[in-house]
């Protein structure tokens, strides 16, 4: 009985060793380059932008002024703490939401409470999304 167990153990160990050797040899055989840790630390992720993306900022408050007629539509809102924020809107990229449904910019009205996510772009605050609360 011991002889059979010894043979089984040897077979299992032989298969395991062959597997480890294959894992080490196959990348070399197919020309895979090995990278040093410093190369990996300095590597740029695929599709990464070389310039930093501006952070998205959120403000919540009531609309005090609204201009949808000009070439550069805008709105002003006052937060609960009294801080006023002037935001520029983009007809093509600013998205307005009401009860989880997209609505038009024209659905915005003075006095309405909103939650706005915006970013600074070209020294202006550009509204990305507006949630009508």
- Number of structural domains, the chain? 2
For residues 36 and 71, membership in a common domain is answered with no
Residues 127, 84 share a domain: yes
pLDDT at 10 over 90: no
Rounded mean pLDDT, 70-87:
94
Residue 50 lies in a domain: no
Average pLDDT over every residue of 42-50: 60
Q: What is the pTM of this model?
A: 0.61
| Predicted local confidence at residue 2, as pLDDT | 52
CB 40 within 8 A of CB 25: no
Residue 106 belongs to a domain? yes
């Amino acid at each position: 009985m011991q002889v059979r167990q010894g043979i089984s153990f040897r077979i299992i160990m032989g298969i395991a060793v062959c597997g480890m050797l294959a894992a080490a040899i196959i990348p070399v055989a197919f020309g895979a380059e090995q990278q040093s840790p410093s190369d990996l630390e300095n590597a740029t992720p695929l599709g990464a932008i070389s310039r930093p993306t501006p952070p998205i900022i959120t403000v919540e408050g009531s609309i005090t002024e609204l201009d949808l007629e000009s070439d550069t539509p805008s709105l002003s809102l006052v937060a609960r703490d009294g801080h006023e924020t002037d935001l520029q809107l983009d007809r093509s990229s600013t998205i307005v939401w009401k009860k989880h449904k997209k609505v038009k910019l024209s659905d915005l009205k003075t006095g309405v409470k909103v939650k706005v996510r915006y970013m600074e772009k070209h020294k202006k605050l550009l509204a990305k999304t507006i949630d009508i609360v």
